[in-house]
Structure 1
Amino acid sequence: MNIVISGVAYGLEDSISKATLGDLYLLKVKLGVSVKTIQGTFQKFGELEDAVDLLDDADALLNLQGIIWLSRRKAGEDTSFEDAGAVSFVDLAFEDDDDEAGADVEDPKA
């Protein structure tokens, strides 16, 4: 699965499973977010009837900010927690790795 941020696709599994211990520590200290809470957020995604319902859940929004930060860090981008929180909700999407919709999405390593 990928998270698409402003048209750029980032692999979620690698972003989370290959995060450095330092990044995981910062994520926990700065945002109070852990890999376990991120996984819980993904479970909530599957239960929502409408993605806009996510905007009512402060914890889910914080976890989403953490996901954005980890994804961009894994791609080698110099980003801050503030940068991750500045992403507009309409600039976010999730896609399966085999989605054909991803054909128009940029590769951050290109």
Structure 2
Amino acid sequence: MNIPDKVKIGNINYEIVKTQNELIFEDEPVDGTISFEESKIELNTSNKSKQYIEETFIHEMVHGIFNYMGINQSEKLVDKVTKGFHQLVIDNPGIFEKDPRDEKINKFSINLKKRLERVTDN
């Protein structure tokens, strides 16, 4: 799984910040935070496994999705959705990768449109 530098949740673009520093939320140490006001997700990657960092990233995105959709959220609910979604991604590698055929179709459509424009301009 790839953790990008930014992610769009609803109409908000969130910056993803990976840090080695301790993160604090409500006076407690945490491994990830999401700031709706700053449009930022922070992940503490210090001494964490790849799988754990991925789950933390998904966890924060689930918070973002719930917030965007106005869903009441508890840590217990977010944790359950996170574990299910992370397992889905692990069990189905490439599920969210772009299909190269889509790019070919898009290029074909653009070229066809340009050709039609030239024909109708004459």
Q: Aligning the two structures, in what range does the TM-score lie when normalised by the shorter sequence?
A: 0.3 to 0.5
Which structure ranks higher in relative contact order (CA pairs < 8 Å, sequence separation ≥ 6)?
A: 1
- Which structure shows the higher helix fraction? 1
State which structure, 1 or 2, has the greater radius of gyration over its C-alpha atoms: 2
Q: TM-score, normalised by structure 2?
A: 0.36
Q: TM-score, normalised by structure 1?
A: 0.39
- Which structure shows the higher strand fraction? 2
